[in-house]
Amino acid sequence: MDRETLGDQACRRLKEVHLDKLQSFADIYDVKELDDLRPDKDTRLHIATVQGMVKRLLYPSPGQPPIPVDQYDLIIVDECHRGYILDQELSDQELLFKDEKDYISKYRRVLDHFDAVKVGLTATPALHTTEIFGKPIFEYSYRQAVIDGYLIDHEPPIRLVTRLARHGIQWKKGEILKTYHPGTGTIDLATAPDEITFAVDHFNRRVLTEPFNRVICAELAAEIDPSVSGKTLIFCANDNHADLVVRLLKEALETRYGPMDDDTVMKITGNTDRPRDLVLRFQNERLPAIAVTVDLLTTGVDVPEIVNLVFIRRVRSRLLYEQMLGRATRLCPDLFGPGQDKEVFRIFDAVDLYAALEDFNTMKPVVKEPQLSFTQILDQLAKAPTTAARQNSFEQLVALLQRKRRRLLRDEVLIETACGKGVPELIAAIRDAGPRRALSLFKKAPGLAALLDEAGGTALPAHVPISEHPDALHEKSRGYGTATRPADYLSGFSRWLEANRNKLPALLVVTQRPRELTRAQLKEIKLALDQAGYSETALRTAWREWKNVDIAATIVGFIRARALGEPLLPYAERVDHALQSILASRRWTSPQRQWLQRIANQIKADTVVDREALDHGIFQNNGGFPRLNKIFGGQVQSLLTDFHDRIWQDAAA
C-alpha cells in the first residue's frame, strides 16, 4: 500500500514543480499515473510500481497486447533496495510471488525485458544491491547530507527501559495465566506447563503486555505535547499492538494535557480503512499529530514535519532502521514559526533497539518470508485469471502449508475438528488435489483458512499469553554509544581531540588560527568527528544534559572549549559581538553596514564565510564577490579575516 502512496506522492510533486511560465511539469508534459496501464504516444513520463509492471508483463489480462521492449527509454527505480528486500507486507498484486527468490526473479525479468537505461535510487543500499543494478556510480551518505545541510540530524536516542523490559516477563510452572485467542476474541485460562519467559523482543508479538505499553505511553506523553508544531511517528509490532498504543496514548495525553480531538492520535496501517487517504491527511493536515503504524510508513513517505520517532518494536535490519529514520530527516523551514526551522529530531527507543541491529556488512534480506495468509492465497486462487496464475497460487498454498507444518501441529485438534483431517493428511490431500479441487476442499470447510492463519502464526499465535505483571520505568537515558553518561561522552570527545590534534591539520587551524579556517576544512573536521561518533548535535545534547543549559555552539566552539578551556558560548552571540566590534571600529556607509549585517547572518548559518560563499545565494544575486569587493574598497577578504578573528577574540575576552 505504501508503494502506491509513494507513486501518488511523485504525481503530486510533478504537479507542484513549476518550470516554464509558472506551468507545472505535469502541465507541460503528458504524465501517466499509477492507474494508467500503458503510456500513449505523446507520454513523456509514466509512473508505476515494479509490482504493477510484473502483473502487466508476466500475467496480462486476456486480450491485452504484449508490452514492447522499447516502450521506455529510461527507467528510474526509486527505493530500488526493495527489489530483493521485502520490508513490507505484500499487496494484493504481489500475491503472485511465491517466495523471495521467485520475487527477485520476476523483478529482474521486468527490468531485463525493457531495452532502456536503468537507474536505481536508494538511501540504503544493502549487500545485494549490486546483484541487480551493478556497483554504485555515485554515493552520498546521510551523514554527509547532514553536514552539507540537506538533511536533519537526530539527537542521541532516548532509551526508555522498564522493569519488565530489563528482566523479562515470567510465569512459573503451574501458574495460571490468561491467554487471548485472536480468532474468536475470547480470553481463556491456562496452566503454564513449564517456566515461561519472554524477553523484550517478544513483547507485543508473542505476549500481550498492557502494563509495559502504559508506562511507555505515559513517558511519551511527558515528552510530546501534540498541540505544539511537529508530528510524531510510532512504530508498533503488529496491528493489534497499534490499536493498544493508540488507546493508551490517548489516555496518557488527556491525563497530562486535558481533552483533545480524537484524531490527534491515529492508527495508519494496511488494515485501516482507506489508508492512502490517512497518509495524505498525515502529510497535509494538522491532525493527526501522532501516527501509529507498523510497516506502512517505513520507506520514502515525505512528511517533513516529523520531529519524533518512537520504536516500540524490534527492528533487526539496520537497513530497515535507516529507512525508518529517514522519515524524520527532511528539512522543514519555519516549522515552529517564522525563522524557527526544524533543526533536529528525536528518537525514543523502548525496546533496546541497538542490541538487535545487524551491521550493513553482514546484512541479509530482511526476514521475509513474505507475510502471506492462507485466506489471501485462497482468494487469489479463486480469482486467478489464467491457468499459470492459478498454478502459481496453488503452489504457494502448498508451500505455505509445508512451511507452517510444525506450528499447525500445535492446534491439530482444532484443525481436525474443522475439516476431518489431521495436519499431515490435510497437507497431503491438498497437495494431491490440484488447484480446483483444493479450492473446493476449503469451500466445504468455511472456517478452515482463518483457523490455519491463527494456528500457523501468520498474524499472532493461536493463543497469546496476556501479561498483567505490573511495570514501572527503570531507566531513562541517552544512547551515547559506548558511553552511558553525557560527562563520559564529552571526556571521550576530549581524548579523541588530543589523540588526533596532530593527525588532522584542520584541528590545528581550529585551535591555533580559527580566522584562517576554510569551509573545506570545516567539512573535513565534521566528517572526521562524525565518523568517530561525535556529531555537533550529539555534543550539544550531551552538554545540555551535563550542564543543564542549552548552548547553540558550533563544532568549532566545542573543540576550543574542550581543547583550550575556552568558555562555551552560543555562536550567534559570538558573531553579534564581532559585528558590533567591527561596526564600532570605523565610520561605515549605509550600504556597507547593511552588507556587514548580511555577512554576519551568513556566518551564523554557515560558521565560515569565505570568497566561495560570497559567490552563492543572496550574494550571488547581488553581484557576488566582485561587486561586494567594490563596495568595501577592495578589502572584503581582509574584512572576512578580521570578522572571524574577532569572533574568537572579543567574545572570549
Supply the CATH classification number for the domain 150-370+459-479: 3.40.50.300
Instruction: Report which of residues 402 and 466 the model is more confident about.
Output: 466
Tracing cell 498525515 back to the chain, one arrives at: 282
For residue 8, pLDDT beyond 70: yes
pLDDT band, very low/low/confident/very high, at 574 (cuts 50, 70, 90): very high
Please give the pLDDT value at position 77.
87
The residue-averaged pLDDT of 617-632 equals 86
Does the pLDDT value for residue 547 go beyond 70?
yes
| Encoded amino acid at 591, one letter | P
Give the length of the chain: 653
Reference 333, options 307, 304, 309; nearest CA is: 304
What average pLDDT does range 575-593 have in this prediction? 93
Q: What is the pLDDT of residue 652?
A: 41
Mean pLDDT score, 391-398: 84
pLDDT tens figures, 509-540: 999 888 888 888 999 999 999 889 899 999 99
Residue 413 has pLDDT above 80, yes or no: no
Place 300 in a pLDDT band, splitting at 50, 70 and 90: low
Contact between 174 and 192 (Cβ < 8 Å): yes
The residue among 316 and 449 whose pLDDT is bigger is 449
Instruction: Show the cell assigned to 545.
Output: 544534559
More confident residue, 391 or 6: 391
The b-or-e profile of 421-433 (16+ CB within 10 A means b, else e) is bebeebbeebeee
First to last CA, the chain: 60
Q: Which amino acid is at 492?
A: G
Given a contact cutoff of 8 angstroms between Cβ atoms, the answer to whether 309 and 348 are in contact is: yes
The per-residue pLDDT for 93 is: 42
CB atoms within 10 A of CB 565: 7
Angle at 208 between CA 204 and CA 214, to 5 degrees: 85
| Beta-carbon-side half-sphere exposure of residue 252 (alpha carbons within 13 Å) | 22
Q: Is 182 exposed, middle or buried (0-12, 13-18, 19+ CB in 10 A)?
A: middle
* Statement: residue 219 has pLDDT above 90: yes
- Given phi > 0 = left and psi -120 to 50 = alpha, else beta, which region is 596? alpha
- Rg of the chain, C-alpha, whole Å: 29
- Pairing relationship of beta strands 158-162 and 74-78 according to DSSP bridges: unpaired
More confident residue, 311 or 6: 311
Closest CA to 103 of 382, 452, 366: 366
Average pLDDT of the segment spanning 284-299:
88
Residues whose CB falls within 8 Å of the CB of residue 262, separated by 6 or more in sequence, listed in order: 250
Confidence class of residue 85 from pLDDT cuts 50, 70 and 90? very low
CB 58 within 8 A of CB 106: yes
Tens of pLDDT, residues 143-198: 888 888 889 999 999 999 999 999 999 988 888 888 887 666 788 888 877 788 88
pLDDT in the model for residue 361: 37
Count of CB atoms situated within 10 Å of the CB of 48 = 20
Is residue 18 very low, low, confident or very high in pLDDT (cuts 50, 70, 90)?
confident
pLDDT band at 123 (very low <50, low <70, confident <90, very high): confident
Query: pLDDT, tens digit, for every residue of 604-624?
Result: 988 888 888 888 777 888 888
401 φ/ψ angles, rounded to the nearest 5 degrees: -60, -45
Q: Which of 68-72, 142-146, 451-455 has the lowest mean pLDDT?
A: 451-455
Q: How far apart, in whole angstroms, are the C-alpha atoms of residue 441 and residue 432?
A: 12
Q: Where are the domains of the chain?
A: 2-147, 150-370+459-479, 374-457, 480-568, 572-649
Q: Using omega within 30 degrees of 0 as the cis cutoff, is the peptide bond preceding 66 cis?
A: no
142 against 243, higher pLDDT: 243
Band (pLDDT 50/70/90 cuts) for residue 11 is confident
Percentage with pLDDT > 70 across the chain: 87
* Contact of 459 with 206, CB cutoff 8 Å: no
Mean pLDDT along residues 252-275 = 92
How far, in Å, CA of 603 to CA of 644, rounded? 9
Reply yes or no on whether the pLDDT at 73 is more than 60.
yes
d(CA 208, CA 241): 8
Report d(CA 305, CA 328) in Å as an integer: 8
In 501-554, alpha helices (H): 505-512, 519-531, 536-547
CB contact at 8 A, 138 and 163: no
Q: Tell me which of 86 and 530 has the higher pLDDT.
A: 530
Computed over every residue of the chain, the mean pLDDT equals 83
Examine the pLDDT at 572 and tell me if it is beyond 70.
yes
Position 136 pLDDT exceeds 70: yes
Q: pLDDT digit string (tens) for 459-497?
A: 445 578 899 999 999 999 888 877 678 999 999 999 999
pLDDT given at position 101: 52
Q: What angle do CA 415, 418, 419 make, to 5 degrees?
A: 90
Please say if the pLDDT value at position 242 is more than 90.
Answer: yes
In the chain, % of residues over pLDDT 90: 34
Do the beta carbons of residue 248 and residue 239 sit within 8 Å? no
Q: Which residues contact 269 (CB under 8 A, 6 or more apart)?
A: 239, 242, 275, 293, 294, 295, 296
Which range among 52-66, 368-382, 528-542 has the greatest average pLDDT? Answer: 528-542
